[in-house]
């Protein structure tokens, strides 16, 4: 690796969502899909948070850990961008 980290992309977030909600049709997930309607619950949200933190090498700040952050892939991407710039 060259040490350069690419900017967070919506496609990365959607892939992580699919990995946490494997029984969901990947074509049914867009940047504005309500993840709670797809079955995201508190344990899946924690798993998703840890996957995102690992993938983007970051840690969610306490003020970002709430229901609105995990509502949609776009909201998650915006939170990641707040942390990583």
Q: What is the mean pLDDT of each run of 10 residues along the chain (85 residues)?
A: 68 96 92 96 96 96 95 98 92
Residue 50 CA to residue 47 CA, distance in Å, equals: 5
pTM: 0.90
Tell me what pLDDT residue 1 has: 41
Backbone angles phi, psi at 29, to 5 degrees: -105, 120
Residue 3 tokens read as: 């040490």
With the CA atoms of 9, 14, 16 and 19 taken in that order, what torsion angle do they form, in degrees rounded to the nearest 10?
Answer: -160
Domains and CATH numbers, the chain: 10-21+31-84 (1.10.1200.10)
Sign of CA dihedral 34, 16, 21, 41: negative
Residue 84 CA to residue 53 CA, distance in Å, equals: 10
């Amino acid at each position: 690796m060259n040490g350069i980290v690419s900017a967070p992309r919506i496609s990365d977030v959607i892939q992580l969502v699919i990995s946490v909600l494997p029984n969901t049709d990947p074509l049914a997930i867009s940047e504005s899909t309500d993840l709670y309607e797809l079955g995201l619950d508190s344990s899946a949200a924690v798993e998703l948070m840890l996957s995102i933190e690992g993938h983007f090498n970051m840690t969610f700040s306490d003020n970002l850990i709430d229901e609105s952050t995990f509502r949609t892939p776009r909201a998650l991407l915006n939170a990641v961008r707040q942390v990583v710039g």
